[in-house]
Each structure stands twice: as C-alpha cells, then as structure tokens.
C-alpha cells in the first residue's frame, strides 16, 4: 500500500487533497489509513500514533 495514500492534514485520499497540512504542523491523520492520530509533542518534535499502525509519523519541531 502506498505509505502516503492519505493527507496527514485532513485524512482524505491524496487524490482528493494533495496535502493541506502546513509544514510545521503536527500530522493529524495517519498517512496510510486516514485515521485520526494521537499526536504527542515531545521536546524533539512530535510523534503521531495510529491505532492500527502504531507510531507512523515523526517530525521535527
């Protein structure tokens, strides 16, 4: 499966949204399944966790 099939800003398929999340915003939705992520902000940045896929997105602040 395409690991970036979903927009992390709104959870819609990439075919419908080509990424509306801003560069510095934490991802809100799993890029694989579009489920809303539990986002944890850490001193080093942030980490998004999907119920299905575990920690799927990490980033810098």
Minimum Å distance from CB 44 to Zn ion? 22
Q: What's phi and psi for 30, nearest 5 deg? A: -65, 130
Q: Are 58 and 45 in contact (CB under 8 A)?
A: yes
**Across the chain, where does the E strand assignment appear?**
38-42, 45-50, 54-60
From 1, 22, 52, 54, residue interacting with Zn ion (rule: CB under 5 A):
52
From 4, 20, 36, 42, residue interacting with Zn ion (rule: CB under 5 A):
20
Name the residues that contact Zn ion, by CB under 5 A.
Answer: 7, 9-10, 17, 20, 30, 32-33, 35, 50, 52-53
């Amino acid at each position: 499966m395409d690991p970036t099939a979903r927009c992390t800003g709104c959870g819609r398929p990439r075919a419908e949204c080509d990424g509306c999340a801003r560069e510095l915003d934490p991802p809100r939705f799993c890029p694989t399944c579009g489920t809303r992520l539990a986002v944890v902000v850490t001193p080093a940045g942030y980490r998004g966790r999907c119920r299905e896929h575990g920690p799927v997105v990490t980033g810098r602040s």
